[in-house]
Each structure stands twice: as C-alpha cells, then as structure tokens.
Copies of this chain bind each other. A is one copy, B any other.
Amino acid sequence: MMPTFPPPDFSEPRFSAFPDARFAPAPADGVLPDGFFSTTNLPTFVHLNGKWIAPNEPRMDAGIVKAADGSLWVREGRRLNKGDLVAIGEKEDGTDGIFVQTQLIPHGADPDAFTFMSSEVSREKPIDYGHMARLLVEEKERGGYPVWVTGPALVHSRARTDMSWFIANGYVGALLAGNAVAVHDIEASIYGTTLGMSNTGEITQGGHGLHMRAINQVRAAGSIANAVAQGIITDGIMYECVKNNVPFVLTGSIRDDGPLPGVITDALAGQDAMRAHTIKATMAILIATALHAIATGNMLPAFVALPGGEMRELPTICVDSSEFVVSKLKDRGTHQAFGVVTNAQDFMHILRLYVERELETRGTTPRRASAASGAR
C-alpha cells in the first residue's frame, strides 16, 4: 500500500565525479572532530572506495563513524571513543563525498504517495481514519514493528481501554513512554482514578495522594511485572504489555513522582533504550506527548530500508490537541510527521473502530483484551 522509492541512480556520471568521503579521528572520548558531517533523517549515502554506501542505524544530529571492518554507523557524538573515524563535510550534495536524498520519488502514481510527507497540520483538515487503520492492519500482517509513544493524557482521558486493546491484539511493537503513563495507568487499575479523578471526571476525596500510594505499592512489589504477578495490577496498559510480552521503555524526567521501579532515570541510558526500538521501527504513532514525541522524532529515520535497496516512508502519526506540537516536531526535522489535531481519547476510540471495521472487511476477528481491559 505504501509506495516504495528507489535510491539515487549512482550510475549517473555526476556521482562518479564526486570524491570519496574524508574521515578524521575523534579528538577525545565523546567529542567529534572539527568539520564533522551532521546527519539528517533522510536517506544518506557515503562514497567509499568508489561505492555509495548507506550507513547503518540512521538518525539525525549525529556523526557517521567508519568501523574497523569498513562498515559505517550513525553514532551520537557522546558515544564516540577517541580515535574513532568520523566523516567530514558540510555539503549534502555529494561534493564532500556524502549524498543526502532529499527528493523521494515513488514508483507508480499512487495518489496517496505524498500524503504524509507534504501535509499541513490543521484542526480543520479531515482525518482519514480509514487510511491510518489500513496502514496499521498491514503493518501487523507484514510483521512490521509499530512503535507507540504516548503521554499521560491518554490515560487521564480513558483511552486506556482502547490502548489496552491495541496491545492485546498485536498492533504494538513497543511502547515508549514516561513514568507518568504507567503511574496513571496503575492508579486506575488499583483505585479506579487518575490523579484522584474518577473515570467520569469527578475529583475523589483524598484523591490527591492516590498516585503516590499506587507508586509505593509497586515499589514494595519490586517491579511492575511482580505487581502484575501478585495481582496488584489487574488490567490496563502495563498489564497487557506484561501479559503479552510487548516490550516497553519507561524513561524518567525531573517531573516524575516515585518513580516506578524499572523507569530508566538516566536520560542517556533512556535514549539508548528507546533507540534500540526506533532502529527497528516500521511505523510510529505519537500521542499526546511533546517530550517523548520530539525525543523519538530525533532518533527516527524518515524512511524504512527494504530488502533489495528500495525504501519507503516511515509512517509517523502525531496526535495532539493543538497544532503546536506537530509543527514543532516538523520544525525540529521530523518532516514526515502526519498531524492529527484532536483529543487523544477520541483518536483512540475511532482508530480502534476503523481497525475493527477493516478486520471485518477482511474477515478477521480480533482477539479480545482481557475482560476488564476490553470492556467498552
């Protein structure tokens, strides 16, 4: 369904006229050499011994390192060791031996071809839920790896049930979130509230401390998985992740209460843990979070490399209540982000509805989430 596009035609004469890329050693651990090439998230090719090679593990705002075996890797500056060979150059047009493919021309004439790449963000634009649902169903069918990145509004607003359904039914490759998502989700499982607010939006008596009590119970249990095993957590997002072996990364921030056990409190360790999933990602769904969405955008390539050298766009859906987060994400370089300006609760509910319809059309029946999570 998603159109594919080829790499540049390096047999064109202009490419052979370009020099090989130059490399210089890192002057110290974690320090790039002067004039280092700063990467983008677009398809990038390095001229090496007359061949154009795409470095492994692409992301923006990093360097390109040549390993001892001649292989090329995109590496954050902080991960360099003194002496690592780093590509040098400021030009992206090949004249420094590095070529960035800024024109992505798909095969054929699929009218959907540029939907994601070129879209403006506006609350007044129609949202094509059918298209998004098909993408997600196809990802599952082809064994893709959709990465979901969510903020706490998803749990506040009771999209929790729908998120649990997506996890239980195999639409989530990995979940990237912060401490708060898990705290609210677990408070909801234990006390039926989020930050002391009931699921009809009422403030409960003594509710302001409930999230602290929820955290404390999980700390006493030692881990989220233990708390599920001990029957402390009986439904919801974290429950379904544990039960269905869906990997999750909870990263810490200075806002965190607790935190819960298992939250990675070091930001750099957190980035590394997230990137272990983004390098496998074939789709990204970012919902109601500025911090985690932009963090993920920073480390997400704009494309997926297919076996055989073809590429396709990496569908990146960003849902927020205002245009601002999506625009910021795009301004920071995640140009492929497709913005959906709506409430997280509504987005989740309609997307699930359309996925269910798509499955009916295909004659597939979804597996239900556990009783509690699956109830509507």
Chain A 1-33 near chain B by CB (<8 Å), digits 1 or 0: 000000000000000000000000001101110
Known: A126-B200, A156-B125, A342-B346. A213 touches B38 (CB 8 A): yes
Of the listed stretches A235-243, A286-294, A300-308, A363-371, chain B binds A286-294
By the criterion CB–CB under 8 Å, are A38 and B252 in contact? no
The answer to whether A135 has its CB under 8 Å from any CB of chain B is no
A interface residue count range (under 10 / 10 to 19 / 20 to 34 / 35 or more): 35 or more
Contact B200 A128, beta carbon cutoff 8 Å: yes
| Assembly CA distance A38 to B84 (angstroms) | 51
Q: Which residue of B lies closest to A270 (CB)?
A: B254
Contacts of A213 in B (CB 8 A): 36, 38
A77-B212 in contact given A253-B267, A321-B341, A323-B327 (Cβ < 8 Å): yes
Contacts of A40 in B (CB 8 A): 208
A359: B residues at CB distance < 8 A: none
Question: Which residues of B sit under 8 angstroms from A195, Cβ to Cβ?
Answer: 332
Q: B209 near A90 (CB under 8 angstroms)?
A: yes
Interfacial chain B residues near A158, Cβ < 8 Å: 126
- A81 contacts the other chain (CB 8 A): no
Query: Quick one: closest B residue to A255, CB to CB?
Result: B295
> Once the chains are docked, how many angstroms separate the CA of A323 from the CA of B201?
16
Judge if A334 is at the interface, Cβ distance under 8 Å.
no
A274 within 8 A of B: yes
Q: A-B pairs with the 10 shortest C-beta distances?
A: A38-B209, A342-B343, A252-B267, A346-B346, A254-B295, A126-B158, A255-B295, A265-B267, A124-B156, A125-B201
